[in-house]
């Protein structure tokens, strides 16, 4: 509530600025420029700060929209408002084409790619005859509303800031939604996200296009505000400047976009007015200062200005998670039916056979353990089953389907949920949000519904389900804490809770008891036992023999990639081959 008040105060301040007595006109110009830059930076916050995709080419997308509108209004007499959807469509189309290539680039290849097309598009604008080459296009008509021309800087100022606030609120809505959680998982949580059915490649493309459309909106406004366009503001330097704003403001925070745009635009203006007095006309002190500041900011304040401002603001109280109708549940097969069958799967890495023609099965309502010494191929087997890796040969059948070559997303959709040996939670997201990520496939709200806040009923069901699962495992008091702040044992439970949110037929647990204290292990065993009574099937990899022996119905033993034994716990305890593998034949 208090943040909402702050937001209203900010809007009021922006609305009153032009009518306050004594505000010089160039302040309004400056504020309009800040608004235009904020829109582009807002896209970067989502793309780079949240999604982890660094782009130096955003200015090019402003150019697509600006040139589209400039051309259509000056050459073909279109009305500026009519060109808005056209300009944004052109930008979005360009973003899809460029994005299809770009988002596939990995690691540092991605920003390099954005530099390459950023420069190329800039040159392209300057070489096309129809776009006026280096001189660009001028005589662009101003916007008008109800026949009233918005040629006055104060009038367009309101239009610009209307879009800035609308864009910011829409972006906040998006981040606080089912799709938003998935977007926040892109950075550092890709493998986990895919294991819960999130199509990360498609999601990256969506974020890329979203950021481009915001940049396009800024470009369209720019064209009708400056009423002339040329290639310069759409070049690589402008793109670098936008990224600088995002980093300085605090990539990752929506309001950081405005903070960054504010500081950089203001600084640039001051430097451009002050430096000629000291250094003469030539010096480009702004770029020296910006470059140095960017370096300093990365060294001393990598989270940007907004991280500091946020600390001053009152913290939001944790929202109450209201009860909501339960999500529909999957039909569970009758206990004893075959659920998972692994038939002679094999995985070779070059000459190394990590998994050597292993076969076993999991029946519905059964807990099966996969055990073996270090390097026995347990985790690889897990990855083959869950679609993270593909078997070289052999077959995995799950719920009546061949999933040998299915992706992690497809396997999740069929009802297989997993945890990871090295906990893969998003440390800065709350426990609740991490767990709700598990229910991703059970919700339906898409990007547009989220932007317009039409996803609330759907979202309430997901969060209520997450809350129910958290309460069930006894972590209710930690629900709103960042997942990274919990002890390792609790984090493992959070991972299991997230997996439960998928409403799985089969739970795959990779060393769930590792790092747990004795008491926690007992709790975990009780939880898993309870799940079994409810009809859940579980396959787990585990080192703790006591834990495995007491809990499981069936044990499969691997050694050097091959299955050496399987059977009931009591039989395994006495199996000579197993004793040999574990104790080196001493027994």
Partner 1 sequence: MIDPIILLFLLQDGLTNGALYALLGLALVLVFTVTRVIFIPQGEFVAYGALSYALLETGRVPGTIWLLVAMGVAAFAIEAITRGSRMTGREWTTAAVLDLGLPIAIAGLTLAFASKTTPALVNLLLTLAMIAPLGPYLYRIAFQPIADSTILTLFTTAIGVHLAMTGLGLALFGAEGLRAKPLTDASLPVGPIVLTGQNIAVYLATAALIIGLWLFFERSLYGKALRATAINRVGARLVGIRTSLSGGLTFGLAAGIGAISGILIVPMTTIYYDSGFLIGLKGFVAAIIGALASYPATAIAALFVGIAEAFASFYASAFKEIIVFMLIVPVLVWRSLGAVHDDEEE
User: Which of positions 221-250 make contact with partner 1 (CB under 8 A)?
Assistant: 237, 240, 243-244, 247
- C-alpha 302/C-alpha 304 separation (Å) is 6
Residue 462 contacts residue 444 (beta carbons within 8 Å): no
**Does residue 113 interact with partner 1 by CB under 8 A?**
yes
What string of DSSP letters covers 297-332?
A: HHHH-TTHHHHHHHHHSPPPPPPP----PPPP-PPP
User: What's the closest the beta carbon of residue 157 comes to partner 1, in angstroms?
Assistant: 29
| Least distance from partner 1 to the Cβ atom of residue 327, Å | 28
Enter the tokens of residue 11. Answer: 């809007």
**CA 197, CA 184: separation in Å to the nearest integer?**
15
From 75-83, 297-305, 410-418, 438-446, span contacting partner 1 (CB under 8 A):
297-305
Q: Which letter does DSSP use for residue 424 in this model?
A: -
**What's the Cα-to-Cα distance from 349 to each of 191, 316, 578, rounded to whole Å?**
20, 50, 26
- How many residues of this chain bind partner 1 (CB under 8 A)? 50
Token duo for residue 120: 């190329």
Q: Which one of 8, 16, 79, 127 is in contact with partner 1 (CB under 8 A)?
A: 127
- Nearest distance from C-beta of residue 229 to partner 1, angstroms: 19
Helix, strand, coil content of the chain in percent (nearest 5): 60, 10, 30
- Binding residue for partner 1 (CB under 8 A) from 49, 59, 286, 342? 286
CA distance 537 to 373: 24
Q: Which is nearer to partner 1, 35 or 189 (CB)?
A: 189
- Binding residue for partner 1 (CB under 8 A) from 288, 334, 571, 587? 288
Q: Which of residues 55-84 bind partner 1 (CB under 8 A)?
A: 56
Which of 171, 256, 194, 97 is CA-nearest to residue 437? 194
Q: Select from 48-56, 144-152, 455-463, 494-502 the region that touches partner 1 (CB under 8 A).
A: 48-56
- DSSP-H helix ranges across 363-510: 378-386, 408-413, 431-437, 447-451, 456-472, 488-501
Residues 425-454, mask of contacts with partner 1 (x by CB under 8 A): ------------------------------
Q: How far is the CB of 293 from partner 1 (least distance, A)?
A: 8
* Residue 188 interacting with partner 1 (CB under 8 A): yes
Number of other CB atoms surrounding residue 477 within 10 Å: 10
CA dist 415 → 386, 406, 465 (Å):
10, 13, 16
Q: Is 208 in the site for partner 1 (CB under 8 A)?
A: no
Candidates 122-130, 160-168, 507-515, 550-558; binding stretch for partner 1 (CB under 8 A): 122-130
Establish if 282 lies at the interface with partner 1 (CB under 8 A). yes
- Exactly one of 108, 311, 329, 518 binds partner 1 (CB under 8 A); that residue is 108
Q: By the criterion CB under 8 A, which residues form the site for partner 1?
A: 52, 54, 56, 101, 104-109, 111-113, 115-117, 119-120, 123-124, 127, 187-191, 237, 240, 243-244, 247, 279, 282-295, 298-299, 302, 424
């Amino acid at each position: 509530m208090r943040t909402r008040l702050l937001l209203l105060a900010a809007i009021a301040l922006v609305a009153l600025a032009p009518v306050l007595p004594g505000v010089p006109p160039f302040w309004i110009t400056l504020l309009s420029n800040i608004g235009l830059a904020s829109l582009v930076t807002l896209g970067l916050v989502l793309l780079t700060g949240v999604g982890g995709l660094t782009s130096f080419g955003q200015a090019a997308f402003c150019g697509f929209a600006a040139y589209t509108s400039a051309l259509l209004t000056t050459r073909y007499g279109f009305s500026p408002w009519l060109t808005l959807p056209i300009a944004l469509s052109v930008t979005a189309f360009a973003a899809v084409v460029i994005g299809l290539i770009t988002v596939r680039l990995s690691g540092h290849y991605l920003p390099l790619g954005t530099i390459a097309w950023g420069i190329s598009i800039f040159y392209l604008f300057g070489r096309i005859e129809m776009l006026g080459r280096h001189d660009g296009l001028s005589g662009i008509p101003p916007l008008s509303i109800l026949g009233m021309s918005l040629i006055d800087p104060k009038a367009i100022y309101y239009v610009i800031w209307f879009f800035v606030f609308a864009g910011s609120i829409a972006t906040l809505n998006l981040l606080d939604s089912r799709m938003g959680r998935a977007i926040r998982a892109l950075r550092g949580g890709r493998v986990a996200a895919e294991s819960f059915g999130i199509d990360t490649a498609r999601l990256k493309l969506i974020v890329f296009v979203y950021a481009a459309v915001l940049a396009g909106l800024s470009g369209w406004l720019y064209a009708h505000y400056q009423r002339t366009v040329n290639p310069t503001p759409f070049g690589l330097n402008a793109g670098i400047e936008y990224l600088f704003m995002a980093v300085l403001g605090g990539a990752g925070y929506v309001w950081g976009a405005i903070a960054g745009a504010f500081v950089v635009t203001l600084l640039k203006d001051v430097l451009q007015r002050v430096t000629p007095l000291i250094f003469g006309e030539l010096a480009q002190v702004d770029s020296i200062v910006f470059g140095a500041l960017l370096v300093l900011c990365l060294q001393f304040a990598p989270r940007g200005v907004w991280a500091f401002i946020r600390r001053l603001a009152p913290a939001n109280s944790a929202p109450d998670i209201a009860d909501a109708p339960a999500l529909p549940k999957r039909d569970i097969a009758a206990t004893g039916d075959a659920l998972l069958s692994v038939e002679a799967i094999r995985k070779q890495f070059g000459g190394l056979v990590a998994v050597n023609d292993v076969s076993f099965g999991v029946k519905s309502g059964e807990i099966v353990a996969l055990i073996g010494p270090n390097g026995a191929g347990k985790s690889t087997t897990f990855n083959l089953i869950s679609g993270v890796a593909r078997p070289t040969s052999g077959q995995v059948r799950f719920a009546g389907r061949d999933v040998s070559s299915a992706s992690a997303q497809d396997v999740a959709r069929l009802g297989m949920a997993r945890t990871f040996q090295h906990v893969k939670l998003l440390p800065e997201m709350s426990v609740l949000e991490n767990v709700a990520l598990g229910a991703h496939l059970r919700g339906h709200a898409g990007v547009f519904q989220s932007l317009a806040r039409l996803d609330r009923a759907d979202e309430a069901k997901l969060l209520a389900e997450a809350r129910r699962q958290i309460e069930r495992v006894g972590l209710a008091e930690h629900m709103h804490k960042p997942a990274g702040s919990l002890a390792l044992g609790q984090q493992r439970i959070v991972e299991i809770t997230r997996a439960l949110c998928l409403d799985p037929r089969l739970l795959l647990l990779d060393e769930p008891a590792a790092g747990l204290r004795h008491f926690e292990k007992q709790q975990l065993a009780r939880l898993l036992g309870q799940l079994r009574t409810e009809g859940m099937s579980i396959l787990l990899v585990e080192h703790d023999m006591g834990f495995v022996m007491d809990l499981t119905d069936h044990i499969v033993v691997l050694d050097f990639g091959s299955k050496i034994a399987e059977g009931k716990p009591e039989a395994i305890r006495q199996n000579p081959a197993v004793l040999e593998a574990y104790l080196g034949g001493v027994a």
